[in-house]
Chains A and B, each alone.
Chain A
Amino acid sequence: DTGVSQNPRHKITKRGQNVTFRCDPISEHNRLYWYRQTLGQGPEFLTYFQNEAQLEKSRLLSDRFSAERPKGSFSTLEIQRTEQGDSAMYLCASSSGLAGAISYNEQFFGPGTRLTVL
């Protein structure tokens, strides 16, 4: 399977615990994005990486959230001291600029990690 993969697919945790999600992008894609989707809404942008550099962070990304992409391949998203409001689907997407800058917009999504905070 050469698509975007995410682990775990589901995570149930208690309020106050830390959680970490992993995303493996399509191998030749140098951009990686994290989005969050809640019920009845479209995905909302959180942050993105070009190779290992984190280039943009949304206002939605509070201090409890941190993302890394240490070797420019897979990425992790950690949420510290989880709150019930963090319950959502966390989506990862990747894209490539090989066909020109506009092709970065053509983002391919992974299956998501559904987080439930009790």
Chain B
Amino acid sequence: EDKVVQSPLSLVVHEGDTVTLNCSYEVTNFRSLLWYKQEKKAPTFLFMLTSSGIEKKSGRLSSILDKKELSSILNITATQTGDSAIYLCAVGTGANNLFFGTGTRLTVIP
């Protein structure tokens, strides 16, 4: 059975801190790994990773995939209160749908 596990389940940090969110997966026919940010609405696309070891970066957010370890990390530097959200990891397989983890709830305190 396909599985996507995210850790930690929740995290509370102070503004300015750097955080690392983890995602590990066990799926058949892996094609891609995606990160989404979800506030009180629909998930917002952040990154799609397909190749191991190549970092994707957008502002203070970056992510990298390790296909050998079947995992990915999402880093957020200099966190701001606006980063407070649930961060979802999803894996795209040959089945044409995305398989999501339960998410990491990040709270950034001023």
Contact = CB atoms under 8 A, between A and B. Distances in A.
A44 B100 contact: yes
Given A42-B90, A45-B97, A105 B31 contact: yes
Contacts, number: 62
Interface stretch (B13-21, B42-50, B60-68, B72-80): B42-50
B41 A111 contact: yes
Nearest to A104: B96
A48 B98 CA distance: 11
Interface string A13-46: 0000000000000000001010100001111110
Given A40-B102, A105-B48, A112-B42, A56 B88 contact: no
Contacts of A55: 96
Given A56-B96, A105-B32, A106-B48, A91 B42 contact: yes
A109 B43 contact: yes
Chain A interface residue number, banded = 20 to 34
A108 B45 contact: yes
Which secondary structure characterizes the binding site on chain A? mixed
Interface in A59-118: 91, 102, 104-112
A72 B84 CA distance: 37
A42 B44 CA distance: 13
Given A33-B97, A48-B96, A102 B50 contact: yes
A106 B100 contact: no
Interface in B84-109: 88, 90, 92, 95-103
Minimum-distance CB pairs A-B, first 9? A42-B100, A105-B92, A45-B97, A109-B42, A105-B32, A109-B43, A112-B42, A111-B42, A106-B48
Interface of B: 4, 31-32, 34, 36, 41-45, 48, 50, 88, 90, 92, 95-103
Interface of A: 4, 31, 33, 35, 40-45, 48, 55-56, 58, 91, 102, 104-112
15 contacts: A41-B102, A42-B90, A43-B43, A55-B96, A56-B95, A56-B96, A56-B97, A91-B42, A102-B31, A104-B92, A105-B92, A108-B45, A109-B36, A110-B42, A112-B42
